Amino acid sequence: MGISLTAAAGVSMKIVLDVAYHHCHAVAGLVRFREWDSDRPVSWRTIVCPAPGPYVPGEFYRRELPCLIRALESIPPDYSHVLIDGYVHLRRPRFKGLGGYLYEYLAGRAVVIGVAKSPLALARDFVPVLRGQSRRPLFVSAMGTDLETTAAVVANMHGRHRLPTMIKLADSLARRASSEMTGNGDEEHGIAVGGG
């Protein structure tokens, strides 16, 4: 691919994170890959997180950020970019979306890219990206890098459909693991790991 986002020496991995919810718990799907056009992950894992708090409009980060942090803490910090399902920037009163809070937590050590699947009235500073034959855009935002270049990179990631292959994999891992959970939420908060 001719478009690239550069990384610091020694931090070559890209990470995709997505979270699914099921009754008393949340599950993060985490996919590690090397190149923007990769069709296979280097590794993947699912991380079961404690029950999230209730959803509060405009404060989605309170619900999802703890699980994203737990997932990132389960891997070596060898990544340069983190992609999430959500927005990086919001309008007043908060200004930061989930991605903005994650970037703050990471203290700028990695670029954070929001690839939201749904429009949000509070969102700002994003680029709609059409992929494949889909007429529904993805909404790309970023912190720590150029937004236009980031949108072009997401548009050219591997996959013929609306969701790039690596993003779809993280989404599927989280959803499948969450739907397979049973019981009342007292399961061990564990990690399932795989590699390619």
Which pair of structure tokens corresponds to residue 55? 């959803």
Mind listing the pLDDT tens digit for each residue in 78-109?
999 999 999 999 886 668 999 999 999 999 99
pLDDT value for 66: 94
pLDDT value for 196: 53
Q: Please say whether the beta carbons of 86 and 64 come within 8 A.
A: yes
pLDDT value for 34: 96
Half-sphere exposure of 77 toward its Cβ, with a 13 Å CA cutoff? Answer: 10
pLDDT value for 51: 78
Beta-strand runs (E) in the chain: 13-22, 25-33, 43-49, 79-84, 111-116, 127-129, 138-143, 191-195
Q: How far apart are CA 188 and CA 90, in angstroms?
A: 35
pLDDT value for 152: 97
Beta carbons within 8 Å of 180's beta carbon, 6+ residues apart:
none
Q: How far apart are CA 61 and CA 24, in angstroms?
A: 18
pLDDT value for 192: 62
pLDDT value for 41: 97
pLDDT value for 179: 87
The reported pTM is 0.87
Q: What is the CATH number of domain 13-183?
A: 3.30.2170.10
Residues of the chain with pLDDT under 50: 1-2, 183-189
pLDDT value for 1: 46
Which pair of structure tokens corresponds to residue 189? 């908060």
Q: List the end-to-end C-alpha distance of the chain, in Å, as a whole number.
A: 22
Sheet holding 79-84, edge to edge: 127-129, 138-143, 111-116, 79-84, 13-22, 25-33, 43-49, 191-195
